[in-house]
């Protein structure tokens, strides 16, 4: 029995989906969305706030502030409400309507920045707005998920350690890449513990995280218009980028089996299947893919036939390559 007295205490999830019936491979999805924040970002949010408390950065007058495309903003809203803290989330128009409503319902002040920075895009504009607000009011405390070591340490101590415990014979781990916190925590853990696990970083086309140019992305979650500051790709075994159309196809293929996962999860699954088809033709490897989020926040986008037709133009019934 699990009993919690505050929402941020419910973080650990030991639930895995066995995808073998769908993909004929030993591929398991580690579900990180079964918490009050609805995503893997709940672990990050709780860790960063706890680190700020230990450092003496928070008092009764403090106002948390963070830039987020949706999931971390929702998670921090939950943590802030549970602790009685004020929170301001600076986001952009790609943020899901459901995430916006959730944050507002939890008492978060939401600021939507819709004019991209000429060089660093919407992410740069969001960060600039956060810095501007912090300069104007000393009560603001920027947690800075992009450079805060508590981000990756949370996944080193939690996510990766749990996977290693449940899968001692693991061959490959697939991790989505946004701020790089989950990826770096997992990559450092498996590198330092000598498990022989290959860690493959998955990102969206249009993201600059792997060194390519930034491009248009419509699905929030993974990716970045500028390389994430904490990324060290030298400790990652491989990288793969996924077109957003394939993200949608993968989400819908999982939904057809009753698994309602979000865009970040669809990207990771698509990337995992592409990598495995290339590197494991004999289907001998045991793999885990981290599923960062659930799908309720994407009902108006990925799971909307009208939205898919308007933005991608392909038949909504078109199957994923692996389905």
CA 224 to chain centre: 11
**d(Cα 148, Cα 55) in Å, to the nearest integer?**
13
Looking at residue 318, its pLDDT comes to 67
pTM of the complete model? 0.93
Can you tell me which residue has the tokens 């948390």? 64
Q: What is the pLDDT along the chain (323 residues), one digit of tens a residue?
A: 889 999 999 987 889 999 999 999 999 999 999 999 999 999 999 999 999 999 999 998 999 999 998 899 999 999 999 999 999 999 999 888 889 999 999 999 999 999 988 888 888 999 999 999 999 999 999 999 999 999 999 999 999 999 999 999 999 999 999 999 999 999 999 999 977 999 999 999 999 999 888 888 889 888 888 888 999 999 999 999 999 999 999 999 999 999 999 999 999 999 999 999 999 999 999 999 999 999 999 999 999 999 999 999 876 666 787 77
Asked if residue 45 lies in contact with residue 79, where contact means CB atoms within 8 angstroms, the answer is yes
- All domains of the chain in start order, with CATH: 7-31+155-312 (3.40.50.1100), 41-142 (3.40.50.1100)
């Amino acid at each position: 029995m699990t009993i919690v007295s505050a929402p941020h205490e419910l973080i650990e999830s030991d639930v895995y989906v066995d995808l073998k019936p769908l993909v004929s491979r030993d591929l398991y999805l580690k579900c990180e969305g079964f918490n009050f924040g609805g995503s893997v970002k709940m672990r990050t949010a709780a860790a960063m706030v706890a680190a700020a408390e230990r450092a003496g950065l928070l008092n009764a007058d403090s106002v948390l502030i963070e830039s987020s495309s949706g999931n971390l903003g929702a998670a921090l809203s939950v943590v802030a409400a549970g602790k009685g803290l004020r929170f301001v989330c600076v986001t952009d128009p790609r943020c899901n309507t459901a995430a916006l409503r959730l944050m507002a319902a939890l008492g978060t002040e939401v600021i939507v920045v819709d004019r991209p920075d000429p060089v660093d895009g919407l992410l740069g504009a969001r960060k600039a707005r956060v810095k501007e607000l912090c300069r104007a009011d000393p009560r603001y405390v920027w947690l800075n998920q992009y450079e805060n070591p508590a981000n990756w340490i949370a996944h080193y101590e939690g996510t990766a350690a749990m996977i290693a415990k449940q899968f001692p014979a693991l061959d490959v781990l697939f991790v989505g890449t946004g701020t790089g916190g989950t990826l770096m925590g997992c990559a450092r853990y498996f590198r330092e513990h000598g498990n022989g696990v290959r860690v493959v970083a998955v990102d969206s086309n249009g993201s600059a995280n792997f060194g390519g140019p930034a491009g248009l992305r419509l699905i929030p979650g993974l990716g970045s218009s500028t390389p994430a500051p904490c990324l060290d790709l030298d400790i990652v075994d491989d990288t793969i980028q996924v077109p957003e159309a394939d993200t949608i196809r993968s989400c819908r293929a999982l939904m057809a089996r009753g698994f309602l996962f979000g865009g970040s999860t669809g990207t990771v699954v698509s990337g995992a299947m592409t990598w495995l088809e290339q590197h494991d033709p004999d289907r001998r490897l045991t793999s885990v893919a981290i599923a960062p989020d659930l799908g309720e926040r994407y009902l108006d986008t990925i799971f909307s036939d009208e939205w898919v037709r308007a933005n991608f133009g392909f038949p909504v019934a078109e199957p994923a390559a692996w389905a």
